[in-house]
Structure 1
Amino acid sequence: MTDFLRRSPWRLLALLAAFTITLIVYWPGLSGGFLFDDYPNIVDNKGVQPHDASLPSLVGAALSSPASDFKRPLASLSFAINYLATGLDPYWMKLTNLLIHLLNGWLVYLLSLALLRSDPARQHPHASLVAVLIAAGWMLLPINLTAVLYVVQRMESMANLFVLLGLLGYVTGRRRMLDPRHVPPPTSFGNTQWTGFILCAASITIPTAIGTLAKETAVMLPLYALLIEWTLFRFSQSQKAAIPQEEHQIRFSRRHDPRLIGLFLLVLALPFALGLAWLLPNVLKPATWAARDFTLGTRLLSEARIVTDYVAWTLLPTPNALSFYHDDFRISTGLLSPWSTLASLVFLVALTALMLWLRPRKPLAALGIALFLSCQLLTGTILPLELIYEHRNYFASFGLLLAITPLFAAPRSQPFALPRHVLLAGLLLSWTALTAMTAYAWGNPLRLAEDLALRAPQSPRAQYELGRTYIIYSHYDPASPFTRLAYAPLEKSASLPNSSILPEQALIFMNARMKLPLKDAWWDSMIAKLQARRPGVQDESSLGALTQCAHEGRCDLPQQRMMNAFMAALSHSAPSARLLATYGDYAWNVLEDHALGERMTEAAVNASPYEPAYQITLIRMLAAQGRTDEAHQAIQRLQKLNVGGRLDEELDALRLRLGSPSHG
């Protein structure tokens, strides 16, 4: 104990140094702007921009996210709090993200230390230092940058804050249960073993529930806890020590603890079975994949390559690999199309076999591999999500560092200790350098757009974002040099395979705002894309932007071309509520065809009955036509969605418009 106290200040200083370096590395990136999904979730989402901190406003903010049917209320509420404190300033939102990242780094340190001390293979003589290295490496990994500087991915970092808290609580509870100094009589309940079990149960239920309110990835917490149990604790009960125990040492018995088996059956096996039964019918429908460029089969083949890439991008990243935009990825259509599909499957099978082989020999390394692989099960298997996102490795990267860092940070008495230390130092320096370089690029929107377009020259999104940034810098001045620069990347983006209609929309929008000619080729390309495949979120956003510009009188768009675009988008089965509502908006406000506008808006309400925005628009349409009785009936239906008073302001405005007293 004396030796520990003597050396711990140095370990504390090392941890503080890691926090300081992380802060310095990320600081230049805080001055950047919003990007990509930040716009629908924050910038264009008036729900997270409340007028005040009243309960109805905060409830409305919490339930305003378009990112998920589950709304992710905790993350949305945090954006609203940022807005109330500092307005729509990305600097303070990114700073909040960085503080969450540092807090997560502290939790990674504590969890790593607890796991190192629980390793049944051997006690690590420098566990605190190894834990510091794991936390430092994790905070500085380039693959984790988007979970910090990409504002909307606070959802990911906040969810994993509760995952880390839950796992730390679980390990702490299990160590209490296995403490040989507290082995109770069989009938005793008021003892350390039972308090430890209660802590375990609470740690994998309460943080899971709270974390899921930030993002659904928190539901993986019970599985991670099971893997810790499987590799380190092995469902054991404690046994009395025959000899005095060293500090932190635990002893296992061969008997399994039935409480733990029952706990995991209740919190993991049962929810998994119910969730699978709920998901599978929808996943197996071909219509589910209609808006994607891949099927369930080609997705699974592709994800084998992607997960293999994630290993390389985490441990040996390069700027071109970590390009943020990955829509230029070639989808696997067979085991040899491309050949790396089969090679990746072989690698993953080998990695799984290695995990099983390491479990009795080096349990901590086996645990790290298991955590990495299990983290991919939610986002890298059957769900019809986009194929690749770097932020999905925010927790998975911890697993890889847990597997390799103790091996590289070996005591000097072990063979090849010096080369291992040199390799680990080289990795830490390369991670820090690449993260610093990337954070610097993120500190300026134009610099970032140029950097990402250079990293991913065949990415439609990267080229579009560069053109869009040039448009912003042009301030819609035809004489600006940025105006001329915008055309090349936008036209390149439009011509690349699998691109959305975003680049065509941007070209049309820019020239219309500047009163410049609109090329027929832009319209033809946009309509052909909408006809060829079911519109995605970006396509719908593009049509919405053109509709708004025409409605506000800033863009003189040919109505026949716009009608052709909408007809192409609506030609696919089961159009989304958002697309229907956008067409209703265009018909009502631009075409002044009120019957068509009302019909499309009513179809949007039917397609998404729990989204109040469409019902509010329909009520306004009814009121404008003097159909007050129908409007009052619609208000009564809308009232059912007024959870926590979040729609009080809108309902009062609608009643006032109809000449009824408000209920506020």
Structure 2
Amino acid sequence: MKKKLQNFGVMGSIVLLGLGFIVTFFYIYLQAMGLTWQFDDYINLKDLSNASSVQGLNNFIFGGVAGPTGRPISLLTFLANYNDWMNNHPWGFVKTTLIWHLLNACLIFLLVFNIAKIYINNTNQSYIFALMVAMVWVILPIHASANLIPIQRMTHVSAFFMLSTLLGYVYFRTYLSSKQSPILNLILVIGWVVIGTILAVYSKENGAVVVTMLALLELYFLKRITYPAYPKLWTLGIYLALLIVPLFMLLYLVKNWAGINHHFEFYRDRSLADHLATQIIILWEYLKQIILPRAALLGPFHDGHIVYHWTMWQPYVALIAWLVAIFVGWKYKAYRLGKFLLFALVWYFAAHQIESSIIPLELYFEHRNYLASLGWVVLIAVLFAEIYKKYQGLSPWHILGGIYILYLLFNLQQITSLWGKPLLAAEMWSTYQPDSPRAAQMLAAQYKQEGFREASIEVLNDFAQLHPKNISLEMQVFSETCEKNSSQQNINQLNSLKKNVAKISLPADITVNIASLGENIRQKKCAGVTLKNYLNFLMVAAQVPKIKQNANVMHHVNYETALTYQEMDNTEAYLTYATRAFYNYPSLSIAEKIALTYFKQANNEKTLAWIKEALQYAPSNANGDAWRKSLKSLAETIKSIESQRSKVDNTPHEK
């Protein structure tokens, strides 16, 4: 009875502590209420406004562009914020994301508790240890950007299914008995893992690493529990799970070697070797921000991160440091801290094996540490648990633990309060990330919104002058100032663009502002710049190797060329370049415009032939249904018109 009362008291204390912590958590994040949309929000969420119809709903959920899977499960969760999107209310998205974040913390608590109780005979101590891990993890400042960027909910949704998969597996391993039907046990576990992995991957592709994480939990913590079915087969499955993602990555590298290197060179302006050299250093930078964060250096903009090369000393030092850390963990794995150091390292690398390795992604994103940080949090909790065992009662070491929690909360509060003041945040991010074009663009946008138009232009112009390889901001300056400039100033600006486009480092930069610039020139808002001048610039851009080799960018250049020829009443040239733009990157809107142009020429044969051709490029997802429905409807309309004309032509006329 006494033990039950004691357990009840501990559980009551944990519940009260948890509730108090949740209140503190929301109080800190409420300070970010004034935040704005971020760079990837619009492109991923723009179709949410059409989700009120069945077709629009299908297009939104199954027409995602964030990754190869389209991430439909994550997109499905955004339907809860339909009204927030229609009312331009990003904080509504963030509130929902914070709930997902807390749900994930609960899963971490249950996961750690179910593993801890295998090793800790005292259930109350297992609860306390699991609670400490969950509390420290949920307030890590490095998670702030994932929580505060609306579209990054995809990270949370994928993590939810990953953690659910791991928790279910640990539960099955703990409670399934080998005395039950072995085949049923095997089917149950495999089914759970496969379904959980699929849900995680279709929320975000990085969810595939859950199988590696599962194998690590098995090898580190569950080996002492008897396998519930076919021990040799189960062991083989665990090692297969451990190796399947690395082997797939290796196979992908070998099979797509040329394409990967081409993508790095023409899309990312660095080689695969440089990417790997930089990632080795960035992994240390992430780790520093996980354990000892600095609020000023945490934020959404790291696109100006320095690229390291193997001719520099830093990658070698970083690599040696990682090898030393692994050696220390391995050498002292018989000791608790050594074992958990090694676990934190391999868990960290497992979580980063897709996003921070050979895939041609951007260099640095804080949200990649959402689950990668968990191993380090467990190590921190183990460290303080060891201190607690050694020093009974209150000691300076326990005070240090409290100070560490306060340090994390203070940095988190600094970050959230900054995000709640967009202009100040933009100034801070631009100051600490001076080579980030996104930071410069956000600062310029904030100045413009506050009515400081000249300051906005100055920010863009200064960045463009210091970074001539990034012409996006120079194009934006030209687009926003050409209406007030003299003819000579505009001609000089266009000539500067023509010169700098040959130096372009990231060809996708040209796509950001080319449409608005072209529109201004076609509407004759830029004095002194003729359509022929603009065409000349587009022709020069089209011959730049990095642009020429990039189909997505050529899509924009060719379509701008088509629109300019259309403005010059050159229909044949318009059709030529619009068709090229379509083949660069098939688009329903362009397909329809080409078809309608042929139709206006009264060339129904070519119209129907083009529709038949365009239908071959319809995507395989739900957007393909929209393609087929729209283009087939257009074809049927044309056939109906032809039929009506035929009837009229064959009708006898009265004399």
TM-score range, shorter chain: 0.7 to 0.9
- Per the alignment, residue 9 of structure 1 pairs with 12
Q: Do the aligned partners of 1:105 and 1:135 also contact (CA within 8 Å) in 2?
A: yes
1:383 aligns with 2:359: yes
- Per the alignment, residue 513 of structure 2 pairs with 542
Looking at structure 2, the residues matched to 194 and 126 of structure 1 have their Cα atoms a distance apart, in angstroms, of 35
Residue from 29, 33, 43 that aligns with 2:32? 29
SS at match of 2:450: helix
The structure whose residues are more often helix, as a share, is 2
Offset at 1:28? 2.4
Q: Do the aligned partners of 1:325 and 1:462 also contact (CA within 8 Å) in 2?
A: yes
Offset at 1:414? 1.3
Moved more, 556-565 or 207-216: 556-565
- Per the alignment, residue 251 of structure 1 pairs with none
1:288 aligns with 2:263: yes
- Per the alignment, residue 487 of structure 1 pairs with 457
- Per the alignment, residue 100 of structure 1 pairs with 100
Looking at structure 2, the residues matched to 273 and 613 of structure 1 have their Cα atoms a distance apart, in angstroms, of 40
- Per the alignment, residue 217 of structure 2 pairs with 228
Looking at structure 1, the residues matched to 49 and 174 of structure 2 have their Cα atoms a distance apart, in angstroms, of 45
Cα distance change, pair 555–127 in 1 and its aligned pair in 2 (3 A): farther
Q: Provide Cα deviations, 1:133-189, integer angstroms capped at 9, x if missing partner.
A: 222222211111111111121121211111111111111112124xxxx452xxx51
Offset at 1:427? 2.2
Residue from 542, 546, 549 that aligns with 1:570? 542
Offset at 1:295? 0.6
Q: Provide Cα deviations, 1:524-577, integer angstroms capped at 9, x if missing partner.
A: 443334312465333212213323555677766643453344234322243324
Cα distance change, pair 295–24 in 1 and its aligned pair in 2 (3 A): same
1:136 aligns with 2:139: no
Cα distance change, pair 275–326 in 1 and its aligned pair in 2 (3 A): closer
Cα distance change, pair 616–126 in 1 and its aligned pair in 2 (3 A): farther
- Per the alignment, residue 345 of structure 1 pairs with 319
Looking at structure 1, the residues matched to 31 and 637 of structure 2 have their Cα atoms a distance apart, in angstroms, of 49
Larger CA Rg, structure 1 vs 2 = 2
Question: 5+ residue gaps in structure 2?
Answer: 642-655
SS at match of 2:440: helix
Q: How does 1:43-442 map to 2 (within 5 A)?
A: 45=46, 47-50=47-50, 52-54=52-54, 56-83=55-82, 87=86, 88-119=88-119, 126-177=125-176, 182-184=177-179, 188-189=180-181, 197-234=186-223, 237=226, 257-264=231-238, 269=243, 273-274=247-248, 276-285=250-259, 286-290=261-265, 291-334=267-310, 337=312, 339-362=313-336, 363-410=339-386, 412-415=388-391, 418-442=395-419
Question: 5+ residue gaps in structure 1?
Answer: 240-254, 475-481
- Letter of the aligned partner of 1:237 in structure 2? T
Cα distance change, pair 370–269 in 1 and its aligned pair in 2 (3 A): closer
- Letter of the aligned partner of 2:401 in structure 1? L
Cα distance change, pair 412–155 in 1 and its aligned pair in 2 (3 A): closer
Q: Provide Cα deviations, 1:629-648, integer angstroms capped at 9, x if missing partner.
A: 33334434538547554447
Under a length normalisation based on structure 1, what TM-score does the superposition of the two structures give?
A: 0.84
Q: Do the aligned partners of 1:587 and 1:593 also contact (CA within 8 Å) in 2?
A: no
Offset at 1:381? 1.4
SS at match of 2:31: helix
SS at match of 2:539: helix
- Per the alignment, residue 430 of structure 2 pairs with 453
Offset at 1:61? 0.9
- Letter of the aligned partner of 1:74 in structure 2? I
Looking at structure 1, the residues matched to 425 and 36 of structure 2 have their Cα atoms a distance apart, in angstroms, of 9
Aligned CA RMSD, in angstroms, stands at: 3.2
- Per the alignment, residue 653 of structure 2 pairs with none
SS at match of 1:396: coil
Looking at structure 2, the residues matched to 36 and 132 of structure 1 have their Cα atoms a distance apart, in angstroms, of 35
- Per the alignment, residue 242 of structure 1 pairs with none
Residue from 473, 476, 486 that aligns with 1:503? 473
SS at match of 1:341: helix
- Per the alignment, residue 528 of structure 1 pairs with 499
Under a length normalisation based on structure 2, what TM-score does the superposition of the two structures give?
A: 0.85
Q: Provide Cα deviations, 1:286-328, integer angstroms capped at 9, x if missing partner.
A: 4222222321111111111100111101111113432432233
Aligned-pair identity in percent equals: 20
SS at match of 1:66: coil
Q: Do the aligned partners of 2:94 and 2:149 also contact (CA within 8 Å) in 1?
A: yes
Moved more, 465-474 or 278-287: 278-287
Moved more, 439-448 or 584-593: 584-593
Looking at structure 1, the residues matched to 372 and 13 of structure 2 have their Cα atoms a distance apart, in angstroms, of 29
Looking at structure 2, the residues matched to 323 and 516 of structure 1 have their Cα atoms a distance apart, in angstroms, of 39
- Letter of the aligned partner of 2:378 in structure 1? L
Moved more, 370-379 or 629-638: 629-638
- Letter of the aligned partner of 2:216 in structure 1? L
- Letter of the aligned partner of 1:544 in structure 2? A
Cα distance change, pair 83–569 in 1 and its aligned pair in 2 (3 A): farther
Cα distance change, pair 389–413 in 1 and its aligned pair in 2 (3 A): closer
Offset at 1:105? 1.7
Q: Provide Cα deviations, 1:177-216, integer angstroms capped at 9, x if missing partner.
A: 4xxxx452xxx51xxx766544432342212111211211
Cα distance change, pair 410–586 in 1 and its aligned pair in 2 (3 A): same
Aligned length: 621
Looking at structure 1, the residues matched to 525 and 188 of structure 2 have their Cα atoms a distance apart, in angstroms, of 60
Cα distance change, pair 156–533 in 1 and its aligned pair in 2 (3 A): same
Q: Do the aligned partners of 1:109 and 1:134 also contact (CA within 8 Å) in 2?
A: yes
- Letter of the aligned partner of 2:199 in structure 1? I
Looking at structure 2, the residues matched to 118 and 418 of structure 1 have their Cα atoms a distance apart, in angstroms, of 28
Looking at structure 1, the residues matched to 483 and 136 of structure 2 have their Cα atoms a distance apart, in angstroms, of 48
Offset at 1:29? 1.6
Moved more, 319-328 or 129-138: 319-328
Cα distance change, pair 274–412 in 1 and its aligned pair in 2 (3 A): closer
Q: Do the aligned partners of 1:577 and 1:603 also contact (CA within 8 Å) in 2?
A: no
Cα distance change, pair 491–284 in 1 and its aligned pair in 2 (3 A): same
Moved more, 632-641 or 56-65: 632-641
SS at match of 1:379: coil
